[in-house]
Amino acid sequence: MTSPLFRTKNVEQSLLDTEEPEHALKKSLSALDLTVFGVGVIIGTGIFVLTGTVAKNNAGPAVALAFLVAGVVCALAALCYAEFASTVPVAGSAYTFSYASLGELPAWIIGWDLVLEFALGTAVVAVGWSGYIHSLLDNAGWRLPAALGTRDGAEGFGFDVLAAALVLVLTGILVLGMKLSARVTSIVVAIKVTVVLVVIIAGAFFITADNYVPFVPPAQPVPAGDNLAAPLIQLMFGWAPANFGVMGIFTAASVVFFAFIGFDIVATAAEETRNPQRDMPRGILGSLFICTVLYVAVSLVVTGMQKYTQLSVDAPLADAFKATGHPWFAGFISFGAAVGLTVVCMILLLGQTRVFFAMSRDGLLPRFFSRVHPRFKTPHRPTILLGVVIAVLAGFTPLSELAALVNIGTLFAFVVVAISVIILRRTRPDLHRAFRAPLVPFLPILSIAASLWLMLNLPAETWLRFAVWMALGFVVYFLYGRNHSRLSEARKADVRTP
């Protein structure tokens, strides 16, 4: 007899749940909308900051190859997501996928993980957006009181009013409907991509070929760390990565990988897509391809404009333009980053609410949160609750040290989805799969190995914090979710039936 902890929710039941009037989301998204969502959330400050930082510290001009390697790793996971999202077009992404293949407890674990990932991600991005707006206001001669500024490095009482206000405004937009959210996202992404393209095209005129020599700088060993701030792989095996050289490219890839985080959020909107079997793979893979091309192009421009050893860490792309005698581009880049982060924050909040909604509809969280708005057909209750909580979190908490939790949560989700693809191929070969990931089980196994490798390169303290959050999740599940899940209630009803 199967353990109740690993009871699965079959795909057919998941699809039936999406048709219940009180719990049904409105289908309004197209492949273009999904691609825009993907591009909108992937392209953030990473394209303006991380490119030059990693070039200076880890890979030199070969950072372009590091982005290519990271893009391939993400593509492995994206193929698994595309198969699942087109086969099981239900809100919840990795949570829903694991419920259909691994069972209830693993599904709860990944759902709990995604709640942390998206909540912290939204708050971190909101704080980052606030920083850019403060910078732009300072340039205009306007300055908010210190008590209303960013919390990072602040002393005494303070509340980041801009970060909190952004989250609350975006919460209202999400409550009003997905199509409105998609329109706002399309406008903002168009502005952001235009800024990126202008930077690439303008920067190409200032490239000096000598800055690319050597393209792969000589390797420099890095001493191993011995505290919780060191990567887990160092503490386990005493191994330390190398900077520069061929191994430096892979070290850089483990860093720039996090600039790609976000394409998985497209899968959370599967239930609100008009033709998910066709459009989900296009949205997931299309957005990842576009962003990989843009990242590689930006990295080639910044390392060609200025020697990698001279790049700044804080604002490498903006400072590269200053070094070539074009300082006004710095303000232009800050404007692009601020606009871009607006939509990143909104899509992260969107993913968070859809996972919470799916868990509530299954009874693992109170069913109160799974009723949609009678007019807008959006999950307004979890959207408002989470929006307020995240606004307070962003306003009061310096989140820079917690940002790494977003990374480990995403990689953990990648591993679970890859495992789920293998299992569902074996247990449900009869399912219609509009999109099939190639080379199963080899491709998912490769995706698992690549994700685990990047997880091992995260600091040990990140693993410790992640373990604490997971332990809290186990407590919540056994105190509430286990007994209130709809599968549990159905099993009890079967037992009572004579």
Sorted by where each starts, the structural domains of the chain and their CATH numbers stand as 4-496 (1.20.1740.10)
> In angstroms, rounded to a whole number, what is the distance separating the alpha carbons of residues 470 and 354?
20
What is the tens place of the pLDDT at every residue in 441-456? 999 999 999 889 888 8
Q: Which amino acid is at 61?
A: P
pTM of the model: 0.84
The single-letter DSSP state of residue 439 is: S
* Burial classification of residue 433, based on how many CB atoms lie within 10 Å of its CB (0-12 exposed, 13-18 middle, 19 or more buried): middle
Largest Cα separation within the chain, whole Å, is 84
Query: What does the mean pLDDT of the chain come to?
Result: 84
* Per-residue pLDDT at 423: 93
* Per-residue pLDDT at 149: 62
What is the tens place of the pLDDT at every residue in 265-306? 888 888 888 898 889 899 999 999 999 999 999 999 989 999
pLDDT along the chain (498 residues), means of 10: 76 83 80 88 75 86 92 91 88 86 91 86 83 74 67 61 92 83 81 87 91 91 71 77 83 79 79 88 92 92 91 76 79 78 85 90 91 88 94 76 70 91 91 90 94 85 89 93 86 58
